[in-house]
Structure 1
Amino acid sequence: MNGFERRAQQIKNRIKETALKMLASCSPKQIRIADIAGEAGVSQVTIYNYFGSKEALIREVFRDYVQSTVDEFESVVRANVSLKEKIEYIVLQKKNNTHTLHPSVLAELVQEDPEIQELVRKNYEERSLPLMAELVGKAKANGEISEGISVETVILYLNMLYDSSARMLESTQNSEDLDKLVEEMVHVFFYGICGPKSQN
């Protein structure tokens, strides 16, 4: 990559980072190219030259977001750590992602754009689902999940945990409360609300 290409890529990345930051708190419909250009310190023409339209820019930002999220999940699934640590990551990832793209923004993007719908479907079927199956398979092999529980049931439970954790974690402000809540959610995942059976 020569100097011109490197500068062009830096500008493009700055535009995408600006759009992603705006999507953390604004509906895509509320964001204007002029707003992105002003925040990124570029002209509107530059944005159109690189991306063609606001919709194309948002699609590329969303594609990068999904890719990085799944890449991070893959690294956790394949890490040499316990299932408990992996579940803690899944819970906390939802909180971290909420600060990047708000759930209402994610829902709007998926509902309104068929290309984004297809991107989400393809990523889930081709990457996320196999990774979750791999996570469960490894945990079963290590004796961390009962052999009597199917992979499908564990994945369903993980999805429920992931989807509901955002609402609880969003209202948690200080780190001590957050640590306690995550610890309790992981405990419920493994033992239910009654806790482990006492060892007599």
Structure 2
Amino acid sequence: MDGFERRKQKKLAQIYTAAIELFFKYGFQKISVNEIAQQAKVSPATIYNYFGTKEQLYADSLFYWMDKQLQHYESILNAELTFVEKTKQIMLLEAENLKKLTNELPQLSSQEQDDMLKSMDDYAEQKLTDFFKKYVALGRKEGYISKSQSDVVIMRYFMLFQRELSRYWRESTPELTTTQQELDHMLQLFFYGLAGDRQVQ
């Protein structure tokens, strides 16, 4: 990578970081390109040259953020932790990320929401699937995931749990918060179901 390309990538990272912070904090509709440019320390013209429109900046920034989250998941999977602890951390992180996305999507028009959800589905198919295969393979190797279940079914099962956890957080109040004991019980159900660990193969 030459000097020009390095400077470009650094500038893009500044724009992405500023855009994600402002979009998540204030919502898509309430933030202008000028405000993002000011926080990123670049000119609005630079943003338009790179992205063309605010909508494209939003989409590209979101995928940049999703790539960063996936890197975080990979680091958790490679950490010196038990498989249960890895699952807990990944599930909590994914639920928190879903909460952020769920709070942001209502800021978009119906068509923009549809386009974004389609793009996110494509992203999941292309990138998250590979990560999840590693996760499942490790779980099977350590005896936590049944070898009789397909990767597709296990992924859907995982998504059901973390989406419910995200919904719980989104609807919670200061008086209603997820405790460590509740999380442990959810993980017990996640791995062993209502019948207990006798069903694990």
SS of the residue 1:30 aligns to: coil
Deviation at 1:159, TM superposition (A): 0.8
Count, aligned residues = 194
Relative to the length of structure 1, the TM-score reads 0.73
Q: In the alignment, which residue of structure 2 is the partner of 1:183?
A: 184
Deviation at 1:157, TM superposition (A): 1.1
Deviation at 1:180, TM superposition (A): 3.3
Tell me, in whole angstroms, the C-alpha distance in 2 between the residues paired with 1:126 and 1:50.
Answer: 24
SS of the residue 1:28 aligns to: coil
Q: Using a 3 Å threshold, how does the CA distance of structure 1 residues 81 and 172 change in structure 2: closer, same or farther?
A: farther
Q: Using a 3 Å threshold, how does the CA distance of structure 1 residues 109 and 78 change in structure 2: closer, same or farther?
A: farther
Contact 2:33-2:44 within 8 A present in 1 as well: yes
CA RMSD of aligned residues (A): 3.5
Q: In the alignment, which residue of structure 1 is the partner of 2:83?
A: 83
Q: Using a 3 Å threshold, how does the CA distance of structure 1 residues 7 and 178 change in structure 2: closer, same or farther?
A: farther
**CA deviation profile, 1:52-99 (whole Å, cap 9, x unmatched):** 321222122112112222233234345554321221022221344257
Q: Using a 3 Å threshold, how does the CA distance of structure 1 residues 186 and 32 change in structure 2: closer, same or farther?
A: same
Tell me, in whole angstroms, the C-alpha distance in 1 between the residues paired with 2:69 and 2:119.
Answer: 13
Alignment partner of 1:138 is 2:138: yes
Contact 1:110-1:117 within 8 A present in 2 as well: no
Superposition pairs of residues 87-126 of structure 1, within 5 angstroms: 87-97=87-97, 101-106=100-105, 108=108, 112=112, 116=116, 119-126=119-126
Structure 2: gaps (5+ residues): none
Tell me, in whole angstroms, the C-alpha distance in 2 between the residues paired with 1:60 and 1:110.
Answer: 19
Q: In the alignment, which residue of structure 1 is the partner of 2:68?
A: 68
Of all paired residues, the percent bearing the same amino acid is: 26
Tell me, in whole angstroms, the C-alpha distance in 1 between the residues paired with 2:185 and 2:61.
Answer: 34
Structure 1: gaps (5+ residues): none
Q: In the alignment, which residue of structure 1 is the partner of 2:58?
A: 58
Q: Using a 3 Å threshold, how does the CA distance of structure 1 residues 19 and 139 change in structure 2: closer, same or farther?
A: same
